[in-house]
Each structure stands twice: as C-alpha cells, then as structure tokens.
Structure 1
C-alpha cells in the first residue's frame, strides 16, 4: 500500500471515529433513537402549571383579546378599512403597495402562526388526573384531542389569508376593481363569504379566562374578576355593534341577496345615509358601538325598528342577551368589588365586632384607630392565618408541599436550610411559629442568649449594636441564622453557647415566624448532611493557618 493510500485510510478512520461514530452514538441520531421523534423535535412534556406554560398562556390571552377586537371589525368594516388604508378614487393604491395594509395583513398572519404553535405546544403539555401528573405523550395527545379544546383551537387557527394567497397567487391580497364587471362582483361576494369564516377565531374566547387564571399570582383576584366583567360587557357591545353594521352593509350592498324591495319607507334600523357616507372609519365604528351598547344595556332607542327577518333576529337576540347580561353583572359586581381587598374580606366580621366593642367602651378615636389597625394586621398575618381551620385537614404530603411553596423565599435566603436533608427541612418548617411585633417593640437584646431564629414575612426590622450603625432588614431576610451556624461550628470545636450580637427592634408592624434553636439543635444532631457540612467547614478552617 502506498503512502498516499495509507494517509487516506488513516484520514477515513479518523473521520469515522471522531465524527460518524459520535454522530451515531452520542449525537442527534442517537438521541432520536433513544428519546423518540416527539421529544427529539418538540422537547419533553411540560407541566400545565410550569413557568414557561404559564407565561405562554398569558401571551395567548393577549393574542385572544387582540382577535376579539380585530376580527369583528375586519369582517364588518372590511371595505371601509381597506379604503381608509389604501385610499379611494384616484388616490387608491394596490394593497400590495399599501404599507398600512401590509402591516395589518402580516400582523394577522403572525397571530395565525402563533395560534398554530399553540396547538403544537398543547400536544406537549401534560395534564393532572386525580393528583397525578400525566406526561405520557400518547395519553396527552389523546386527552387533548378527545377531551380538550383541539377542534376549537383548529377552528380558531385556520390561516384563511394564506389559503387565499395560495389559491389566487396572481392576486394574493384580494384586489378587486370596482368597474371589472359581473365576474368581479361575484368574486367579491365569494371572498366576503370566505372571510366570514374568520369568526371561528372567536371560538378561542372560551379559553381566555382559563389563561387569565394564571395571573392571579400577580393580580388581585377581585381586580381580575372586575376586569372580566368589564371585558365581557365591552366585548358584547363591540360584537353586537359590528354585527349590526355587517347586516346593514350586506343588505344595502346586495352582496348576499338580502336587499328588500317591498319596504318603500326609510329603514331606520340601518345606519343613516350621512353615516354610511362618512369617510372616517372611527366615526362609523363609534356609532356601531353605541348601537351595541344600547342593546346590551337594555336602553334601546325608540327608532330601532327592524324590518327584515335578519334584523328582527339580531335585535331580539341582543335584547335577550342584554337582559341576561344585566342580571349577571349585577350579581357578580358586588362579589368582585368585595374580593378586591382580600384583607377586608377575611377580617371584616372580626374587625366590625372589635369596633363595636370599642365604641361601647367610649375609646378615643386615635386609640381606637391604632387598636383596629393592629387587629387588622394581626388577623391577616401568619399568626392569624395559622389559627384558621380551613387548611387543617390536608394530608401530610400536601401540607409539606404547601409549606415548601409558602416559604421557598425564606429557604433560599437561609444558608442553614441548604445544608440539611429534606426530611429535616420539612420537620423544621412544620415547627415554625408565627409572631407579630408592633412598631418600636424590642424583639431581642444584644448579649442575651439566642433562643430563636426569626424570618421576616412582612415588615421592617432594625438591627443595632452599642457601637456601629443600624441595619435595616425586610422580607424575606432573617436574623440569628448566621449566629446559630457559627455557634454550631464553635460548639463542635469546644466553644461556648452563642449570644445575640445585635438588638432587634420592629420598625413597622412586623409579621415574622420564629424557629426555636433548641428544636433545631435536636433535629440537626441526627442530620447526616448537616453534620458532614460542619465537619468539612472545621477541616477547611484548620487547613488555613492564622485565620
């Protein structure tokens, strides 16, 4: 074998070993064979309450709200919108050269693509069945298609604009000349019928409030409920107003053969002639919204006299819907306004009893306000909520999950919790006791024994020493944890009991939870992870001379 052949063989072997085998054994093909097509291309199954899915749902809620506003306007005021964007008469330009129309067209196309991506993600989003998270890909797909909202999502994601562009590539944006003859008129009617299928996008409105439930962590539930009522009311006015204009436009234009020749008088149900000739789109829409608001609020003007069967159907539907809508708003508004202040909702009855007692005792107004302020804070603090029996019957596993979720910020900020086992952590979280301190109350004094570690839930605590500036602590900080950890290291080396190095004083009303150092010592004495950490810290200190 020649030298060149030997070099080529070595090069081929190198390529095979370094690249081909790596690609087959540990590369994309290996991952495709190991994980399957779904996980390889789309990732693993997501939890429905995960961070990414919750953020995605909020973005979907915004997209649905956009469609709920845009789609009815686009269908009812299609001709007026195109004229306002592209001009009329001699100033009219093709839709392909109209910048405003292009932005509008491709924005709607992007929303369609967004909805299609949501359908794909729904196939990769698991579900919870009787407390068990189901992440099997086939079960998730079957659940989404048979019990989920698959068909509603498909209806609301149909890319009509893309289909029309594919069917008629020579005229992708639907330009029709007004003087093109009967064929163009028939084509215009067909396109308008097809564009009415965009109403299927409103099917996703059923999922809007489900998506908005994820915002309850950052928005007050009462405010969210009030937003729902306002949105439903405005959307109803918007939808009926656009339907009124659409029916009137179809009847007047004769696109669908809905014109009537038997009624010779002026049809006052339809928009006035001056309004139809108005060049400004927002003027037309405001009058349409006014008509819808009049029907939804049951304040029907006296000149609303429908003539055709379609007009009568829409009017009667709007009137009965407005009647039910008023009953729903009245029944829900009181609860929504009451829930806007969750504190008053919880403590309202107790505070009222205390206020009545203070009035009977003729307590001065300034002292009465201070007492009421304290009890309102007390009832909504950790101590007050701990006395509520609503959550006392939870199973231990679920209670442990609640403790971890409620105190996760405290756990991450305290170094001791990171050095112990999960069993010890759960045990200590269950042993925490709530406490409430009033402004200027001294909590601990410098030089006294460290009896507990305090974790701030809400409020401000000032730490001070005989010499040195004051230090301000807020949630979710703590005091005493560093002293206790140093005491554990000193005790392992034969040191003495630790003392409080600073005086703690409440700067405001302070809601805190305390963890007894005696309980911690008893629990951590048998915690293998914490003992290994203490031993490693001692060895690390011994290995560093003159420290």
Structure 2
C-alpha cells in the first residue's frame, strides 16, 4: 500500500471494510498469467505506479470522489498512454527524491561555477593569470547532477500537468511537450544540463560553460513546490516546518547572489584576458584564502547588497561590479517588499473568506468543547465543515436569497450539470421539467458511515448521488452492492404506494446527494409515462435483488444456528 495511505484514512475517516468481491483489479490493467516472468511483473508494477492514485491527497483537489478517480484511471489504461499521471505513486516518490536533488543542484552548480569547489587551484590560477591544466573533467559529481537534470527533462516530457484554474489534468503527449518547450524552464534546463565540459578540454572554456549553472536559479519555484508537496504527503504542516522551508529557499537566493559577486572578475578575465585590479575581490586578496573564507565574505557582501547596505571597506570601483550592485539593490527592494507582503498575508490568513472560515471553525470547536462531544463526533463535524466550505466560509442562503427564481434555477441547473449528465433518468427529462426538478432539489452532505436510508422507515423522498459512494445493505445486514456518482435510490417507496424502505443505504465515503420529495416526484415523473415505467422496472428489480440476498442470508444464518 502507498506510503500516504494514512493521510487518506484521516481525510475520509474510518476505512470502509468492503464485503463485496470486485470483479477484476481496480487498476484496470490486464491480469497477469500465473507463469508471468519477473520482467512482466515489474513492468505491470511500474505501469500501475504511473496511474492516478486514490491515496494521493492532491487527487481529491481535482477529483471529488473515488469514482471520478477510478474513471480517470480507467481512461488512462484504455488509451494505452505512456504518460505519467501527476497524482500517481511514481510521481509522488519522484518529487520527494527530486526535492533533495534540486536542493543539491541549486547549491552546488552556481558554487562550482564561481568557486570551482572540486578543483579550487584551477579557479585561483585563472585569477592570478597562471597557466593551469584543469581537472574539471574529473568532476564526476557535477556530471552526475547534470545527468539527473537530463533525466528530469525526459520525465517532464512524459508527465501530465495540472491547470489549476480549471481544475483539469492534461494527459495529451503533444500538449505536454508544447507546454514544456514553450515554458522558460526548457531552454534553461537544456543549457544547464548538457555536459559540454566533458567534450571540451580547454580549461578556460570549461569555466565559461560552467557558468550555465547560474541558470538553475530559475528552478527555485520548482524546489519550493516539491518541498511543499513532500510536506503535504507526510502531513508535516507545523509552523516550524513551514519556516524551515522558507529559510532554505531564501538562503538559496543569498547563495546565488554571493556566487555572482565572485564571478565578476572571472567574467572580465574570460572576456578581455585581463584582471580587474580595482575589484574588491582582488583588493581583499580573496583568491589567496580558502573556500570557506571566500564564500562567507561573498555571502556577507550579497546580503548587504540585497538589503541596500554599503560597505566602506568594500567600496566598489569596477563598473561591472557597480552594475551588479544596482541590479542587486533593485532586486533586494522588490524582494524585501515581496517577503513583507507574504508575511502579512500569512498573518491575515491570506484572504477574508479564510479568516471567516477559521473564525467559524473556532466557534464550532468552542461549541463542541462546551457540549463535551466525544472526539469521534468532533472529527466528523470538522470533516463536514471542511467538505462543505473547502476552507472558505460563505453564507449560501444569504447569496441565493436575493436572486430571482429564474436566475436561481439557472444556477442550480449549472451546479447540477454534472449530476444531470451522469444520471440517465434526469437526462431524458424535458428541459422545462428538468429545471423544475433541479430547482426543488435539496443538497445534503453525509459523512462516512452515516445512514442515509433505514430499512423499514416510511419513504417520502428519493435521492440522487452527485458525488461519493454508498453501500446497500439488506435489513439483516448483508451487503448487496455499491452505488456511485450518478446513481439514484429511494424510489421504491415513491413508486409503490404504502411501501416502506426495503434496504439500508449507508455512506461509504463523504457523499453529496440531492433529495427530491414526493410532491415534486409525482408532478414531474408521473406525467411522463415512459420515465415512470423505467423507474417502476428498476424499483421491482432492486426489490427482487434485495429480497434474494435477504433470503440467502437468513437461510445461511439459520443453518449456522442449527
């Protein structure tokens, strides 16, 4: 089972223990033969890891239920696509390891370009105008990092991407390639990854090529995203962890500017073949000291420039360094302003709707504490608010109460458009009747293990399942089947007069249903004889199936009793 299954359990509550035997694998991949080779088993395991995972927490941000996730998985398998789903197990593990890899790359490559960590004598020789046959071709560590970068380029071409605004996942290979090639990342990744220094023996040219490592700073948002995803998967959301993440990213910004500071005289030497004698680096004799001393001095200089602090002992005379200082000052002002805004947004919970949501949650928690509700009930109540409002509180009645009936009907029809598409019964209704049905539907949310319908009770409504999964049980407790998005139930009591509920309907996961009462049902469906006949046939069939399971279960129970 994937490593983030614990997150999945906490997201949905207690895990449902299914008593039904499912036909086939929920991965929708062809079953392996008994005599399958290890390679075939490995290939199937690898393919399964690239499919969307119902245990990935991000899956539920784009897909509302397991049924939608399974449909996306099935479509992925049917199309025989080799694209990796961004919410797959493979991608989750990959992002965890790439968090560490990008952290090392973003530190090492600019530092090696500036200070030549592997062979510092070569770098010192350049500044002192001495001839030196460099050993950068022995930089196997740098080559390994470039190789990782090249593999990342290939993986990106074969990984789907998310369109956050539309809540959509793009899995088309051509669109993925176009999206990546047209982005700023592709060119910089290619230039910083290609190991040209292994094909060029001239030390000066190798040093110039290594400066491509500075392009890696563009991938700083990628590191931040991967770190955020890793913390989300491991459920590490404490404030100390968030501070650590921001400190790491901000340090890399200072690190990059420190490396730029030390590169100025080297660039001048590469371009004109002469040293910048007036450079503060030459005046401070930094090439003569060890790497740690040089690095600390440059970080100190970069931090001062970013915060617009001037240093008398490091007064700038070279025009190249003055130009870099101007750019650094401007960036520093924007950077400080940006960090300040982020801190203020964090303190204000970023948005007023979120503030209202957390205020409401605080009131709910105070209410639960005052009423001394059990922990399990408190958890379920908070799950309800989380699903209902998605961390943004709004007064739905206050918004819809001001709307006209026509506009309200259009909004309801648009909100329920997915439900109408999934429920074949509603799709056959005339437009006028459909609007009347949707307008009179009442939305309700049930948490996992909530009883929606109890066997033997009087039925005065039927239900349409918009999102989630429900289980059908006989009165004696035998599980019959599952119903998922687009299903409807509770029609038996409305079709047959004086007929009580014949089965228990229980939510397997968080479910969103729409309830239609008896009066609207009669007005809409009884006037349409063909649809009413379909309902009647479905009701009879369900009654027979439920009764069959009930009889078998009762017979088995009696035999065990004897």
Provide the C-alpha distance between the structure 1 equivalents of 2:178 and 2:270, rounded to a whole number of angstroms: 46
Aligned pairs for 1:22-37 within 5 A: none
- The answer as to whether partners of 2:185 and 2:218 remain within 8 angstroms in 1 is no
Mapped pair 1:188 → 2:203: yes
- The answer as to whether partners of 1:47 and 1:125 remain within 8 angstroms in 2 is yes
- Report the equivalent of 1:50: 88
Mapped pair 1:485 → 2:486: no
**Shift of residue 190 of structure 1?**
2.6
- Report the equivalent of 1:163: 199
Residue number among 337, 345, 351 corresponding to 1:327 in the alignment: 337
**Shift of residue 315 of structure 1?**
1.6
Provide the C-alpha distance between the structure 2 equivalents of 1:297 and 1:379, rounded to a whole number of angstroms: 48
Provide the C-alpha distance between the structure 2 equivalents of 1:386 and 1:295, rounded to a whole number of angstroms: 48
Cα distance 1:533–1:398, how it changes in 2: closer, same or farther (>3 A)?
same
- The answer as to whether partners of 2:214 and 2:256 remain within 8 angstroms in 1 is no
Aligned pairs for 1:159-308 within 5 A: 159-164=195-200, 168=201, 187-205=202-220, 207-212=222-227, 214-215=229-230, 217-218=232-233, 229-248=246-265, 256-260=272-276, 268=280, 270=282, 272-273=284-285, 275-279=286-290, 281-308=291-318
Provide the C-alpha distance between the structure 1 equivalents of 2:300 and 2:216, rounded to a whole number of angstroms: 24
The alignment partner of 1:303 has SS state of helix
**Shift of residue 317 of structure 1?**
1.6
- Report the equivalent of 1:76: 114
Aligned pairs for 1:144-159 within 5 A: 144-146=180-182, 149-159=185-195
- The answer as to whether partners of 2:110 and 2:256 remain within 8 angstroms in 1 is yes
Provide the C-alpha distance between the structure 1 equivalents of 2:543 and 2:187, rounded to a whole number of angstroms: 54
**Shift of residue 336 of structure 1?**
2.7
**Shift of residue 70 of structure 1?**
0.6
The alignment partner of 1:485 has SS state of coil
Cα distance 1:191–1:384, how it changes in 2: closer, same or farther (>3 A)?
closer
- The answer as to whether partners of 2:160 and 2:169 remain within 8 angstroms in 1 is yes
Provide the C-alpha distance between the structure 2 equivalents of 1:369 and 1:542, rounded to a whole number of angstroms: 45
Provide the C-alpha distance between the structure 1 equivalents of 2:381 and 2:353, rounded to a whole number of angstroms: 9
Cα distance 1:138–1:343, how it changes in 2: closer, same or farther (>3 A)?
closer
**Shift of residue 222 of structure 1?**
8.8
Query: Which runs of 5 or more residues in structure 2 are unaligned?
Result: 1-42, 44-76, 126-132, 397-410, 422-441, 449-453, 458-469, 482-500, 503-509, 518-534
Aligned pairs for 1:392-541 within 5 A: 395-396=415-416, 431-433=444-446, 485-486=477-478, 526=539, 532=545, 535=548, 539=552
The alignment partner of 1:330 has SS state of helix
Cα distance 1:260–1:76, how it changes in 2: closer, same or farther (>3 A)?
closer
- The answer as to whether partners of 2:474 and 2:546 remain within 8 angstroms in 1 is no
**Shift of residue 353 of structure 1?**
8.8
- Report the equivalent of 1:64: 102
Rg larger in structure: 1
**Shift of residue 142 of structure 1?**
3.8
Provide the C-alpha distance between the structure 1 equivalents of 2:395 and 2:97, rounded to a whole number of angstroms: 34
- The answer as to whether partners of 1:295 and 1:318 remain within 8 angstroms in 2 is yes
Residues 201-250 of structure 1: per-residue CA shift (max 9 Å, x gap): 44433544454564474357795875664344312211111122222566
Q: TM-score, normalised by structure 1?
A: 0.51
- The answer as to whether partners of 2:162 and 2:170 remain within 8 angstroms in 1 is yes
Matched residue pairs, number?
374
Provide the C-alpha distance between the structure 2 equivalents of 1:352 and 1:315, rounded to a whole number of angstroms: 49
Cα distance 1:482–1:195, how it changes in 2: closer, same or farther (>3 A)?
farther
Query: Which runs of 5 or more residues in structure 1 are unaligned?
Result: 1-27, 29-38, 89-93, 169-186, 356-366, 402-428, 436-447, 452-477, 490-496, 499-511
- The answer as to whether partners of 1:112 and 1:157 remain within 8 angstroms in 2 is yes
- Report the equivalent of 1:108: 142
CA RMSD of aligned residues (A): 5.9
